């Protein structure tokens, strides 16, 4: 199996506009062949969605999710291209699912590039200090930090998080799949998450477990 490098993933992503994880999977499935990986994405309906990414998505919906008992609340804006799609049951369900995801998993930002630089640098410094403290060789410290940053992204970036209703896929993959079925460019724009008593040093429930229960898992 050919080694899948970051530059290969970047190249495929630029050609198709597909998400990073989809590009990585496509390359793995096709032994690093970019042309075959592109065809694979097209067959899955992912590249066709990506081609629409340049079209304006100015319609959509703002949805809310209030956790039972009013302990947690979420507002999220998800955009699509037409009001017709925005009013469809499928789009509305997707927006509700994303709001529920935010309630359960407490992301910091929608996507990686929106993570505040000072916060990211602080996390990197902590990861490096932890690696040095554990006695890891200096030459592999940067590699360790890189791996922990990737894990950090999956914890705090909404689109990188495992989807709470199907943890075999990321939120980004869920949105991409939904966009393919809706037939329009779909984008999660922004969100706000409110927790009752946040910052007042009180014990909080594990909302992720409760949301999964409500989802029937």
Q: What is the pLDDT of residue 6?
A: 84
- pLDDT at residue number 103: 94
Q: Which of the four CATH numbers 1.50.10, 1.10.286, 2.30.30, 1.10.3470 does domain 116-154 have?
A: 1.10.286
The per-residue pLDDT for 204 is 46
- Per-residue burial over 130-161, b if 16 or more Cβ lie within 10 Å, else e, is ebeeeeeeeeeeeebbeebeeebbeebbbbbb
pLDDT of residue 13: 79
What is the CATH architecture of 57-112+157-214?
Answer: 2-Layer Sandwich (3.30)
Phi (first) and psi of residue 78, to 5 degrees: -125, 130
Spell out, as residue ranges, where the chain has pLDDT lower than 50.
Answer: 202-204
Distance CA 6, CA 202 (A): 42
Residue ranges of the domains in the chain? 6-52, 57-112+157-214, 116-154
pTM: 0.66
CB 102 within 8 A of CB 156: no
What's residue 102's pLDDT?
96
CB 210 within 8 A of CB 88: no
Q: 6-52: what fold?
A: Helicase, Ruva Protein; domain 3 (1.10.8)
């Amino acid at each position: 199996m050919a080694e899948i490098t970051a530059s290969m993933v970047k190249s495929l992503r630029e050609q198709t506009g597909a998400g990073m994880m989809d590009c990585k999977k496509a390359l793995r499935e096709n032994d690093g062949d970019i042309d075959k990986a592109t065809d694979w994405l097209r067959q899955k309906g992912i590249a066709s969605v990506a081609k629409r990414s340049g079209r304006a998505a100015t319609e959509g919906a703002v949805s809310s999710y209030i956790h039972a008992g009013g302990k947690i609340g979420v507002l999220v804006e998800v955009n699509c291209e037409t009001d017709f799609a925005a009013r469809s049951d499928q789009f509305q369900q997707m927006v509700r699912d994303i709001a529920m995801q935010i309630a359960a998993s407490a992301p910091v930002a929608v996507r990686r590039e929106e993570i505040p630089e000072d916060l990211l640098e602080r996390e990197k410094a902590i990861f490096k200090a932890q690696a040095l403290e554990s006695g890891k060789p200096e030459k592999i410290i940067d590699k360790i930090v890189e791996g922990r940053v990737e894990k950090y992204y999956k914890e705090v970036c909404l689109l990188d998080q495992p989807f709470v209703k199907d943890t075999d896929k990321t939120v980004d993959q869920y949105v991409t799949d939904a966009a393919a079925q809706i037939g329009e460019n779909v984008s999660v724009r922004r969100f706000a998450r409110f927790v009752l008593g946040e910052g007042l040093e009180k014990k909080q429930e594990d909302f992720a477990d409760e949301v999964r229960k409500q989802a029937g898992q």
